[in-house]
């Protein structure tokens, strides 16, 4: 399969390639990847790496001193120790400056920090540095974690306004069955549309069907393609696959970008901003949102669920199914007082002037 031309790419390297068995950093599978990066940069293209491996590097460093780390704080300490080794490891492959950028979900959730991260990436690329991005495991707590580097890579691709996201793993791509147990499983070369059937091929958490953390890879592809970024899954254990990529030939699975990509703000709301609550709406309101691109009015709301504040993101649901997401103009308790009421009644009910809309159409994205 022939790839579209690209100027900027994000490459995510799986932990099984960087630290096989989770033991220590290894160059065993990375020389072909480094050659691909160097060749791409020599052609005037820009590359950003998203790299795992900090915890494994920290663990190896402690083993050298016959020491161990335990618990969450221990894992965070391993990441802190390992980050320096990880950056030194990547610097060995390239003559250009290698720059570290550590992110958490908090950096993506807050719009100003999100834009600051984007500006940093742009400046690093302008300086001809090679950015290496990782999750900031040394300080992130569970509620601020992105959770996996596949989805982190998709966020970085959106931040950087890349044309291409390459997920380099230890599996050839997405199969129509589990290739570990089914010799007749076939590789799917292209996924034109990501839907429930595609997710079913990946299996659920703990499933024996899922291969190579495939579910998070599909999630990443969905995030990226809806912003207009073509996504690939390729096998980094096969040098010939990366050599072919340099010729814009793909052996793996391609998720083509969608033709009607979301704008930057709506993509950020949908994929980076966590929902703090939900509102149920009636069929008329749902139709107005979907067909006319209308704002959500109090009259169309039938129930308020959760505790959220003005400015928080909320899910908009019809009969229990999420149909949209947006930024609320009200706290949950205030909204509860005006459910089903006309906009003209809001001031009297709340005792003050307030927004006529629950979610303005400029702050709303359909799901």
Confidence tier at 66 by pLDDT (50, 70, 90): low
> Which residue(s) pair with 103 in the sheet?
135
Question: What integer pLDDT is reported at residue 143 of this predicted model?
Answer: 41
SS3 at position 274: coil
Mean pLDDT score, 258-263: 73
Rg for the chain, CA atoms, rounded: 23
d(CA 30, CA 362): 45
Has residue 257 got a pLDDT over 80?
Answer: yes
Has residue 140 got a pLDDT over 70?
Answer: no
Instruction: Determine which of 27-36, 57-66, 289-298, 300-309 has the lowest per-residue pLDDT on average.
Output: 57-66
* Domains in the chain: ranges and CATH: 8-263 (3.40.1160.10), 274-366 (2.30.130.10)
Say what the pTM is.
Answer: 0.74
Looking at mean pLDDT, say which of 109-113, 114-118, 191-195 comes out highest.
191-195
Confidence tier at 20 by pLDDT (50, 70, 90): confident
Has residue 303 got a pLDDT over 80?
Answer: yes
Which of 36, 39, 74, 47 has the alpha carbon at shortest distance from 58?
74
d(CA 202, CA 221): 13
Residue with tokens 């960087």: 18
Q: Share the mean pLDDT of the chain.
A: 87
Question: What integer pLDDT is reported at residue 77 of this predicted model?
Answer: 83
Mean pLDDT score, 41-67: 84
Mean pLDDT score, 336-358: 88
Has residue 223 got a pLDDT over 60?
Answer: yes
* Helices and strands (DSSP H and E) totals, the chain: 14, 12
Has residue 356 got a pLDDT over 90?
Answer: no
Confidence tier at 205 by pLDDT (50, 70, 90): very low
Question: What integer pLDDT is reported at residue 147 of this predicted model?
Answer: 56
Mean pLDDT score, 183-188: 91
* Number of residues that make up the chain: 367
Question: What integer pLDDT is reported at residue 72 of this predicted model?
Answer: 72
Residue with tokens 């599996």: 171
Q: Maximum Cα–Cα distance for the chain, whole Å?
A: 71
CA dihedral for 282, 285, 287, 289, sign (positive or negative): negative
d(CA 154, CA 157): 5
Distances (CA, A) of 325 to 36, 56, 80, 203: 39, 38, 36, 26
Mean pLDDT score, 128-144: 73
d(CA 67, CA 22): 17
For 95-114, write each residue's pLDDT tens digit. Answer: 999 999 998 877 887 878 88
Mean pLDDT score, 39-53: 92
Residues 115, 57 contacting (CB under 8 angstroms)? no
Question: What integer pLDDT is reported at residue 244 of this predicted model?
Answer: 92
For 243-255, write each residue's pLDDT tens digit. Answer: 999 888 999 999 9
Q: Among residues of the chain, what percentage have pLDDT more than 90?
A: 52
Looking at mean pLDDT, say which of 12-16, 26-30, 54-58, 230-234 comes out highest.
230-234
Mean pLDDT score, 195-202: 90
DSSP string of 79-135, one letter each residue = HHHHHHHHHHHHHTT-SS-EEEEEE-HHHHHSHHHHHHHHHHHHHHHHTT-EEEEEE
Confidence tier at 41 by pLDDT (50, 70, 90): very high
Question: What integer pLDDT is reported at residue 31 of this predicted model?
Answer: 92
Confidence tier at 328 by pLDDT (50, 70, 90): very high
Give the helix/strand (H/E) hosting 47: strand 46-51
Residues 168, 238 contacting (CB under 8 angstroms)? no
Confidence tier at 144 by pLDDT (50, 70, 90): very low
């Amino acid at each position: 399969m022939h790839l579209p031309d690209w100027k900027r790419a994000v490459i995510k390297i799986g932990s099984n390639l960087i630290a096989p068995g989770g033991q220590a950093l290894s160059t065993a599978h990375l020389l072909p990847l480094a050659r691909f990066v160097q060749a791409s940069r020599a052609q005037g293209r820009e590359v950003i790496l998203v790299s795992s491996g900090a915890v494994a590097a920290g663990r190896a460093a402690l083993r050298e001193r016959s020491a161990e780390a335990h618990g969450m704080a221990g894992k965070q300490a391993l990441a802190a120790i390992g980050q320096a080794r990880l950056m030194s490891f990547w610097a060995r492959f390239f003559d250009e400056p290698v720059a570290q950028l550590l992110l958490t979900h908090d950096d993506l959730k807050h719009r100003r920090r999100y834009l600051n991260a984007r500006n940093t990436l742009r400046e690093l690329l302008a300086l001809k540095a090679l950015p290496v991005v990782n999750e900031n495991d040394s300080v992130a707590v569970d509620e601020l974690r992105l959770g996996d580097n596949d989805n982190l890579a998709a966020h970085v691709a959106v931040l950087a306004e890349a044309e291409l996201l390459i997920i380099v793993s230890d599996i050839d791509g997405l199969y129509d069955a589990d290739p570990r147990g089914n010799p007749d499983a076939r590789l799917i070369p292209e996924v034109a549309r990501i839907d429930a059937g595609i997710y079913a091929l990946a299996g659920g958490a703990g499933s024996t069907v899922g291969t190579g953390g495939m579910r998070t890879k599909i999630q990443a592809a969905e995030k990226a393609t809806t912003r207009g970024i073509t996504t690939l899954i390729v096998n980094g254990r096969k040098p010939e696959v990366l050599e072919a990529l340099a010729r814009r030939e793909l052996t793996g699975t391609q998720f083509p970008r969608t033709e009607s990509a979301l704008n930057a703000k709506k993509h950020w709301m949908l994929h980076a901003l966590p929902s703090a609550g939900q509102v149920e709406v009636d069929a008329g309101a749902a139709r107005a949102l979907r067909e006319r691109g209308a704002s959500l009015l109090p009259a169309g709301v039938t129930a308020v669920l959760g505790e959220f504040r003005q400015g928080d993101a909320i899910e908009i649901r019809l009969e229990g199914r999420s149909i949209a997401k947006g930024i609320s103009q009200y706290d949950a308790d205030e909204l509860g007082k005006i459910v089903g009421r006309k906009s003209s009644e809001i001031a009297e009910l709340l005792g003050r002037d307030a927004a006529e809309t629950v979610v303005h159409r400029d702050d709303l994205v359909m799901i």
